[in-house]
Structure 1
Amino acid sequence: MEQVKAEKIRNTLKQTREKRKHQVPRVYQVKLQNLSARDRETLDSLFLEAKWLYNYVIADIENRLTPDVWKLKEVEVKTPEGFEKREIKQLSSQMRQGIVERIRRNLTSLKKAKEKGIKVGKLSFKSEVRSIPLKQYGITYKISKDKNRVKIQGIGKKFRVLGLHQIPEDAELAEAHLIKKPSGYYLHIVCYLPKEKVMREIKEKQVNQPIGIDLGVKHQLTLSNGEKISWYIPETKRLIRLQKSLSRKKKGSRNYWKTKQLIRREWEYINNKRKDVQNKAVSHLKRFSFIAIQDDSIKSWKEGYFGKQIQNTGIGGIIARLRTLATLIPVFFVDRYEPTTQTCSFCGHKQKISLSERTFKCQNCGREIDRDVNSARNILKTVLERLADPLKSALPVDCGEVKPVEWALSLR
């Protein structure tokens, strides 16, 4: 019986993988509404038990990370008086399985980073868990779109939610995550949409024009057509005032935690504004037939002289979003060491140019052009040359510079 059941699961997973090749994942956020004090207490206990289980397992991974660890009903918790046993009541079996799988994924990520030569430590204890995986739609959570209600496994009450209208009718619901934020409790629902439909919607708004993008500090995005996109979202005055107030509070007191919660909520507001700008910028870039961008090291920019500017714009999120977008429209990445700023986009002459010079004056042909626009045009030119070469065009989009032997292997 067990072999038949295992074979059935394998076949189902295989069919699902084949189906996912023709679908596009989307995540929709809905907020839990009209929560009473008892509801908040129930949800808080859910996240508290998730923290207990997570910390209990990573305290002794070699002995506790077993196939049946999710069946635990009781764990040891460290308190100021010593270790005490706490019972897990609210967390359902599939929630516990999701938390254990998260630990395994984290360990796998650390192993891969270590193999690449990156210095890594070990998994650290969490003071607070803010995300609980809900593995399967229909079991760990259920949705009633007509009544705007969500049922979460292990909780008797159905919660009223805001935002279900944004989920399309033809969307296939998959896993979800129960998220705790300073502004409330949210459900992030993963849905799969037909790839053909999404591609058709994108192509209806597209213009038949390729674009090159140069990332910068003063102007966050400079396009090869001369268009410049800039934004700057600094820390609010209210956040500065709250941080000053926190420094005067007694650490650990009730007013201290109350002020800290207000600071978290203000940070959430600022990050939401930055994400909103990123969404609008990426939505504008999706209009072009394909995108070429240089794979700059934004992290080194932040660690250098431009830490505050990079933090207040969140420009690094643009590259991450474009890598995700590459599954729908062509996105090509140019190697970060390509001298796009030092090359004339008209004649190809290379010359040194300092950071203070904002206009590129070619010493060969005498042309003058904005240095960022010149760089964006060179990025686009580099990608077009790669696509014209049958060997180079067979390479992955973000492969960078490679040797002739690697070209031949990729073509083969």
Structure 2
Amino acid sequence: MEKTLRYNYRLNPTPVQEAKLIEFGATARGIWNLLLSENRRRYEYDKTFLFYKDMASLLKEIKPLEEFEWIKAFDSAAGQQVARDLETAMKNAFSKGRLQRFPKHKISYKKKKLHNDSFRAVNNSNCIRIEDGAISIPKVGKVPIVLHRELVSNIKTVTVQYRHGKWECSITQEVECKTAKQVLETLTGFDINSKQTVVGSNGFMADNPKFLKHSKEKLNQLQRQLARRTKGSNRWQKTKQRINKLHGKISRQRLDFAHKVSRQIINETDIACFEDLNVAAMQKFNGSMVVDNVMGLITQLSKYKAELEGKLYHEIGRFEKSTGICSECGQRHVLSLNDRYFTCLSCGTYQNRDLSAAKSIARTSELDLIAAGIVAKVLKPTSQQKYSIKMKVFELSKLDCGSEKREAA
């Protein structure tokens, strides 16, 4: 089984190449706005939309026209990718399972004052390849790349974007997943909260680094400096760039922390169990705290890492209660956010709120997985006699088909 993964690399284009990348990003934005305007016009006329094949044909038809000469210089495959993205955005807007608005026109450079457009090129006939420390991009040339890690497989697509003062390319590749493990030795529940980022039922704990809070003083200083500048002046632009770079640094710190924590989680357990958190609703309550805690990012990274390693990832229902449940007797308690420790009213056990929640998640997940037939508990495995009696061992259930495996929800 293969999985498509995305790897980011830094680009160091020459001034000529940089001007070309900016032009191509603006062209992709122009094609998006053009196709979106045409779709809106069609809908007002006969209540129909143009989809990918129609939009690709439209681009081919208007290329010879004099007023659309700017499309000729653009890579045709990259223009088709813009049409695919617009089709996906329109379908998501009308899908019942997605809470997404109808796509809007992209703002021009003159209004935003930032070169943050992007475009995606497709590797047709090996037109995108890395040779001698440079990546060849159609109609741009060989752009120097910081290859901090080797490619896993062949390149599928490359997305080029200017972010936080640096040029980056995002390369998609097909990665082979490991064979699913038949014997799963450990099941661990993980509670994500505001104080510690992650607390595991096995004693694992990762404190919230609070990168935004540590950079808050410097960020406030730059924002006050920006307020004193004349809007649109050279000094205003320089201060704006410094703020943008600082936000980029905080974003990279969060991503690095989330990758390290999720990797440690998957390395230490065979079945990783989390809560299905409504992160969007939590952001409305306390946005900066939730974003700085990378709550949703850790679960996303843990999920795909578990698939790569042939392990299981499971989420309990969003409305399953986990906080305030005694880990010894199962008695439920009502706790406020300030109650980090509590004493059970039934058995008198004094325990940590987050650790008991993690154990409750592990217990609920175990029952869910066994009830769904995804795993089966092994009572006395011969090969596991050296482990303690409290060790829980599971085996992956098999379907009648033979080789297929049930997937965790």
* TM-score, normalized by the shorter chain, greater than 0.5: yes
In the other structure, the counterpart of 1:154 is 139
Quick one: structure 1 residues 175 and 354, their matched pair in 2 at CA, closer, same or farther if it must change by over 3 Å? same
In the other structure, the counterpart of 1:217 is 194
In the other structure, the counterpart of 2:384 is none
1:18-60 CA distances to partner (integer Å, 9 max, x unpaired)? Answer: xxxx223232222222x33222212211112122221222123
Per the TM alignment, residue 264 of structure 1 is displaced from its structure 2 partner at its CA by: 1.7
Counterparts of 1:142-291 in structure 2, within 5 Å, are: 142-144=129-131, 147-155=132-140, 157-163=141-147, 165-168=149-152, 171-196=153-178, 208-230=185-207, 231-234=209-212, 236=215, 237-287=217-267, 288-291=269-272
Instruction: Give the stretch that moved more between structures: 351-360 or 370-379.
Output: 351-360
In the other structure, the counterpart of 2:18 is 40
In the other structure, the counterpart of 1:403 is none
Counterparts of 1:311-350 in structure 2, within 5 Å, are: 311-328=291-308, 329-350=311-332
Per the TM alignment, residue 362 of structure 1 is displaced from its structure 2 partner at its CA by: 1.3
1:376 to 339, 358, 370: 358
Measured in 2, the distance between the counterparts of 1:117 and 1:187 equals 28
3-state SS of 1:166 partner = coil
AA of the residue aligned to 1:23? E
1:127 to 99, 108, 128: 108
In the other structure, the counterpart of 2:63 is 73
2:334 to 352, 355, 373: 352
Measured in 2, the distance between the counterparts of 1:119 and 1:102 equals 14
Measured in 2, the distance between the counterparts of 1:383 and 1:165 equals 36
Q: What root-mean-square deviation, in Å, do the aligned CA atoms of Structure 1 and Structure 2 show?
A: 2.9
Per the TM alignment, residue 189 of structure 1 is displaced from its structure 2 partner at its CA by: 1.2
Percent identical pairs in the alignment equals: 20
AA of the residue aligned to 2:81? G
3-state SS of 1:245 partner = helix
Measured in 2, the distance between the counterparts of 1:27 and 1:336 equals 29
1:364 and 2:346 are equivalent in the alignment:
yes
Asked if 2 retains the 8 angstrom alpha-carbon contact of 1:137 and 1:173, the reply is no
1:96 and 2:79 are equivalent in the alignment:
yes
1:31 to 1, 10, 21: 10
Quick one: structure 1 residues 75 and 58, their matched pair in 2 at CA, closer, same or farther if it must change by over 3 Å? farther
1:244-273 CA distances to partner (integer Å, 9 max, x unpaired)? Answer: 222222223333333322222221111001
Instruction: Give the stretch that moved more between structures: 358-367 or 94-103.
Output: 358-367
Q: Indicate the structure whose relative CO is greater, using CA pairs within 8 Å and at least 6 residues apart.
A: 2
3-state SS of 1:87 partner = helix
Asked if 2 retains the 8 angstrom alpha-carbon contact of 1:183 and 1:265, the reply is yes
2:278 to 270, 273, 297: 297
Contiguous gaps of at least 5 residues in structure 2? 43-49, 110-115, 377-406
TM-score, normalised via structure 1 length: 0.77
Per the TM alignment, residue 85 of structure 1 is displaced from its structure 2 partner at its CA by: 6.8
Paired positions, count: 352
Measured in 2, the distance between the counterparts of 1:259 and 1:74 equals 43
Quick one: structure 1 residues 165 and 263, their matched pair in 2 at CA, closer, same or farther if it must change by over 3 Å? same
1:322-380 CA distances to partner (integer Å, 9 max, x unpaired)? Answer: 34345342111111222212322211222323332222311111112111100100100
3-state SS of 1:174 partner = strand
Per the TM alignment, residue 234 of structure 1 is displaced from its structure 2 partner at its CA by: 1.3
AA of the residue aligned to 1:246? L
AA of the residue aligned to 1:160? P
AA of the residue aligned to 1:210? L
Quick one: structure 1 residues 290 and 190, their matched pair in 2 at CA, closer, same or farther if it must change by over 3 Å? same
Per the TM alignment, residue 98 of structure 1 is displaced from its structure 2 partner at its CA by: 0.8
Measured in 1, the distance between the counterparts of 2:8 and 2:238 equals 26
Contiguous gaps of at least 5 residues in structure 1? 1-21, 77-83, 395-409
1:67-92 CA distances to partner (integer Å, 9 max, x unpaired)? Answer: 3133243899xxxxxxx877234311
1:61 and 2:39 are equivalent in the alignment:
yes
Quick one: structure 1 residues 376 and 74, their matched pair in 2 at CA, closer, same or farther if it must change by over 3 Å? farther
